[in-house]
């Protein structure tokens, strides 16, 4: 198999469908769900009781090809001189009723699954990329999170309410980042909206304040290598690493703040809610050992600030190997999970973000926990009973955690198959790489170009994590996603 094989996308799609089913995920929508969507049509949003915020210079920033737009953002200065940032979240619940066939599919999978050859959306595309998307130049109902900040980046006031909004500019991460960093021109869609350039710079200023405030509290700055396949027609031609940039960080910072405000709002209303948590790591002793092996020290008890300081120092000292250190720390921290926070009881916080109150609320087209949270918010705003009982929420928290893990495994499995497919015609070639894992169960190497990881089958004696070496490709297995090297 080689890069000119025009059936490669189809092969990866077949592998993805099989992996979905093996992990308890539904790759296809039911007949009932498709029938439900077929009967839907775009309708003018009902404005009764909703604030009219259409005139604000809202914009979206996402991947170039994204159409399932979950949020818009805008910033403004108040008469008192404070800075506010507003995040508008698509009102998905308005068209996806609890218990409907579409909702049942979303409840089963709980997330969109992004594989190398195909996206399996949580909602049918007529909804997620059109009717429930905050699409370009379209009026849409939304749940708005309003955040007021002090000069130090601390949140001094907040509110949540429903409104009608309009996306005045659909922007893309890379182009916005280049403009913000002064390495590229102003994007045409941005330039077409009077005043949006100044507004976006204000949003960036707010985001940086929020980020600095989190880092002061010990938020961890981690970096892993994630590569997206590049297709030439239906043949995979390359793997391109995903790069972080200033525009992605801008959106990340605003969404973290909005999710925190949402969690506190529900608590203030006395409503049980789903929290997104990363617990204080049980394997802290092992993290201490890893750091000691690298010549540094951490306190014997979990300390987010100390770990954050080590990571910042390590990134500056050894950027080449920092992604591998990051991956080790991520594995030892443990996976995120969903738990129920009941009124009067504190849920665990998010150790990695260094925040106590955190939920998922800003991506209801893509994640079911966000849709659950949106329904809880709308009920609280209306003074209605919560749409989910505590027992049902607890069951959903466990289910969403399990399905997110299953989706991640599907994505990794297909990514490995794509990497094996790309390298299939390069048996015998040599590559520069770095050892990423060395244990009794095997030794693993990440080669730099293309950025893939495989097992070192021969010549692993004496190889340890961080060692650079040259390896030869000896075998690939697309179906199982195996890539095998030997020391050259």
Cα–Cα distance for residue pair 237/437, rounded to 1 Å: 27
Question: How do residues 45-64 score in pLDDT, each as one tens digit?
Answer: 567 789 999 999 999 999 98
Cα–Cα distance for residue pair 174/246, rounded to 1 Å: 9
Q: Is the peptide bond before 234 cis (omega within 30 degrees of 0)?
A: no
Question: How do residues 114-132 score in pLDDT, each as one tens digit?
Answer: 998 899 999 999 999 999 9
pLDDT recorded at residue 239 = 86
H-state helical runs in 129-279: 173-180, 188-191, 196-216, 246-268
Assess whether pLDDT exceeds 70 at residue 470. Answer: yes
361 confidence band (pLDDT: 50, 70, 90): very high
Query: Is residue 225 a contact partner of residue 243, using CB atoms and an 8 Å limit?
Result: no
Name the architecture of domain 427-487: Beta Barrel (2.40)
State how far the alpha carbon of 22 is from the alpha carbons of 102, 129, 477, in Å.
Answer: 22, 27, 19
For the whole model, what pTM was predicted?
Answer: 0.91
Query: Is residue 443 a contact partner of residue 462, using CB atoms and an 8 Å limit?
Result: no
Higher pLDDT, residue 80 or 328 = 328
294 confidence band (pLDDT: 50, 70, 90): confident
pLDDT recorded at residue 1 = 41
Query: Who's near 321: CB < 8 A, 6+ residues apart?
Result: 434, 466
Assess whether pLDDT exceeds 70 at residue 42. Answer: no
pLDDT recorded at residue 5 = 60
Which residues is 315 bridged to in the sheet?
A: none
State how far the alpha carbon of 314 is from the alpha carbons of 296, 311, 467, in Å.
Answer: 10, 5, 16
Q: Can you give the residue ranges of every domain in the chain?
A: 8-279+337-420, 284-333, 427-487
Higher pLDDT, residue 463 or 205 = 205
240 confidence band (pLDDT: 50, 70, 90): confident
Cα–Cα distance for residue pair 139/204, rounded to 1 Å: 25
426 conformational bin, left if phi > 0, alpha if psi -120 to 50, beta if neither: alpha
Which residues is 434 bridged to in the sheet?
A: 446, 468
pLDDT recorded at residue 177 = 97
CA angle 78-215-72, nearest 5°?
45
pLDDT recorded at residue 4 = 45
pLDDT recorded at residue 242 = 82
Number of residues assigned to the chain:
488
CA-derived radius of gyration, the chain:
23
Higher pLDDT, residue 152 or 209 = 209
* Mean pLDDT in residue range 192-212: 94
Higher pLDDT, residue 225 or 266 = 266
Q: What percent of the chain has pLDDT over 90?
A: 67
Query: Is residue 71 a contact partner of residue 363, using CB atoms and an 8 Å limit?
Result: yes
Element (H, E) at 442: strand 442-447
């Amino acid at each position: 198999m080689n890069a000119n094989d025009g059936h490669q996308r189809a092969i990866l799609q077949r592998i993805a469908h099989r992996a979905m089913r093996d992990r308890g995920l539904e790759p296809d929508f039911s007949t009932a769900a498709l029938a439900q969507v077929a009967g839907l049509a775009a309708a003018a949003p009902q404005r009764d009781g909703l604030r009219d915020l259409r005139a604000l210079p809202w914009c979206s920033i996402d991947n170039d090809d994204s159409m399932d737009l979950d949020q818009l953002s805008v910033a403004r200065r108040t008469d008192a001189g404070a800075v506010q940032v507003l995040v508008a979240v698509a009102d998905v619940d308005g068209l996806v009723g609890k218990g409907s066939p579409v909702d049942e599919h979303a409840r089963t999978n709980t997330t969109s699954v992004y594989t190398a050859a195909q996206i399996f959306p949580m909602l049918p595309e007529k909804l997620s990329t059109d009717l429930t998307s905050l699409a370009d130049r379209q009026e849409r109902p939304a749940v708005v999170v309003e955040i007021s900040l002090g000069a130090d980046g601390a949140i001094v006031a907040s509110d949540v309410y429903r409104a009608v909004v309009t996306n005045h500019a659909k922007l893309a991460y890379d182009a916005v980042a280049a403009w913000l960093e002064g390495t590229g021109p102003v994007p045409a869609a941005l330039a077409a909206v009077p005043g949006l350039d100044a507004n976006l710079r204000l949003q960036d200023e707010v985001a940086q304040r929020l980020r600095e405030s989190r880092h002061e509290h010990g938020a961890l700055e981690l970096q892993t290598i994630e590569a997206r396949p590049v297709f030439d027609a239906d043949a995979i031609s390359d793997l391109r690493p995903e790069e972080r940039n200033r525009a992605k960080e801008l959106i990340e910072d605003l969404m973290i703040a909005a999710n925190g405000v949402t969690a506190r709002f529900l608590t203030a209303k006395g409503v049980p809610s789903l929290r997104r948590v990363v617990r204080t790591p049980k394997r802290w002793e092992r993290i201490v050992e890893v750091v000691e092996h690298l010549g540094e020290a951490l306190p014997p008890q979990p300390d987010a600030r100390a770990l954050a300081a080590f990571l910042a120092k390590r990134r500056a000292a050894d950027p080449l190997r920092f992604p591998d250190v990051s991956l080790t720390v991520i594995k030892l921290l443990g996976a995120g999970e969903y738990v129920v926070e009941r009124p009067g009881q504190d849920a665990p916080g998010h150790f990695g973000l260094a925040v106590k109150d955190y939920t998922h609320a800003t991506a209801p087209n893509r994640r079911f926990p966000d849709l659950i949270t949106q329904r809880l918010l709308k009920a609280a705003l209306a003074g209605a009973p919560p749409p989910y009982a505590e027992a049902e929420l607890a069951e959903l928290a466990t289910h969403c955690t399990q399905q997110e893990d299953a989706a991640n495994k599907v994505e990794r499995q297909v990514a490995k198959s794509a990497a094996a497919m790309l390298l299939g015609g390069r048996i015998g070639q040599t590559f520069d790489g770095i050892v990423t894992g060395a244990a009794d169960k095997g030794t693993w190497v990440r080669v730099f170009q293309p950025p893939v990881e495989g097992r070192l089958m021969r010549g692993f004696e004496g190889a340890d994590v961080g060692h650079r070496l040259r390896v030869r490709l000896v075998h690939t297995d697309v179906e199982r996603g195996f890539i095998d090297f030997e020391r050259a």
